[in-house]
Amino acid sequence: MAALAFSAISEFHAGLISMLRALSLSLFLAASAGLVLCAGAASAASGSAATVKQKARAENQKANVEKQLSDMQKRLSEREAASEAANDELRKADQAISDANRRLRSLKGEREKVEARLAELRSDSRTVGRDLSGAEKLLEDIVRAQYIHSQRHSWQSLIEGGNPNELSRTAAELRYLSIAQVRAADALEKEQSRIETVSEETRARRTELQRIAREEESNRRELLSEKRDRQEAVKKLKRDIETQQAAIDKLKKDQTRLENLVADIDKRLERERAAEEAARKREAARQAKANAKPVEPLASGNFAKLKGRLIKPVAGRIAATFGSRRTGSALWQGLLFRAPEGAEVAACASGRVVFSDWLRGYGNLIIIDHGNTYMSVYANNESILKNVGDRVKAGETVATVGTSGASDEPGLYFEIRYKGKPINPQPWLAK
């Protein structure tokens, strides 16, 4: 689940970055439209230039925030991965401690059985000892009786009025009792010896169990110590993640403020463009009154009629098409041509350069305004050969192919935009 969560975060972030870059380019395109001014509107042009500079600063700030967000999101993902690994190790430690406790519990039960067996053997030993002592004493009594009886003579029984045969019968009984008692004593001695042997084995087992228990207890203490260390590591990673997330939330708020600022600048640029257009019309009317030559419009005012006949900007194969997947949820908004580094980049149609500078993610970038809100975009250039305000003809070299910006192979990224939004360039290019 954590891996899926990380993947979702990364994809969301990639989509966010792509949207921001698209917004950045759209804002520059919108700003570029404000550069096509009439020569008679000097004061309005000055105000527009200041606004464009302010917007450029805001875009730079937004790019910095975007980079910080990307770096912090990467660090956050690393910490979340480390936290997941630490939690997995903590789980293993908990399982090992559980197993150790179970073994200790089993050893304790076995030791209790051994102790109970020893107590039972000690009791049996005492009983057998008492029986053996009784048997030995009885044997002594029988031997004494046999001795006394052996000293009597049959004539003594006759004088005393007894049966002379009684002496023989009593002697036989005493011999039988003596033999039986000797056998009983031997059996008791053997039993006592057996009990002693079993007791010795049981004491040895008790000693072994005590040794195993000490080792298990030592292992358990080590596991508990490792678990405490892992718990501290998990807590620290959790605090780091919370701190990182808070920093990301703060950056996102900063990003929102920047986006609001850019939107406000766009509104001001729109008002300035409207004022400039009004000034141009007033200037055109004044010149018409004075029989003066009106301001020359762009020669490519009929750009829409050139669909299917635009010049291919560079000689090379198309490596990515409009609308194909770029990274994460981001899609290509133009065409990516692969061409040798230093190859010439041509204007697809005549127009006026409205942007000529470096832009994060696009490298050395040139944008040409073709009139009627149509613009063409040329990115990742090695060199830019035209400046803002330069007029270019269809097929004229405006840049050279390179790897600037986010490109890792030589090539040209080409877009066509209408009213600031990207459209598929392929149907516009000549076959």
| pLDDT tens, residue by residue, 193-211 | 888 888 888 888 888 888 8
What pLDDT is stored for residue 9 in this prediction? 38
Measured on CA atoms in the order 331, 337, 340, 345, is the torsion positive or negative? negative
Whole-model pTM: value is 0.39
Query: How far, in Å, CA of 63 to CA of 45, rounded?
Result: 26
Give bridge partners of residue 401 from the DSSP assignment.
Answer: 381
Report whether 220 contacts 97 (CB < 8 A).
Answer: yes
Query: What is the pLDDT, as a whole number, of residue 300?
Result: 42
- Which residues have CB under 8 Å from 54's CB, separation 6+? 265
**Cα separations in angstroms, 390 against 35, 167, 179, 276:** 11, 156, 138, 19
Q: Read off the pLDDT of each residue in 263-287 and give the average, rounded to a whole number.
A: 74
The confidence band for 310, taking pLDDT boundaries of 50, 70 and 90, is very high
Return the structure tokens found at 315.
Answer: 């000689």
Q: Contact, 51 vs 269, CB < 8 A? A: yes
Predicted local distance difference test score (pLDDT) of residue 148: 66
Q: What whole-number distance in Å separates Cα of residue 62 and Cα of residue 199?
A: 85
Tokens of 107: 């050893």
State yes or no: pLDDT of 96 exceeds 60: yes
Say if residue 272's pLDDT is above 70: no
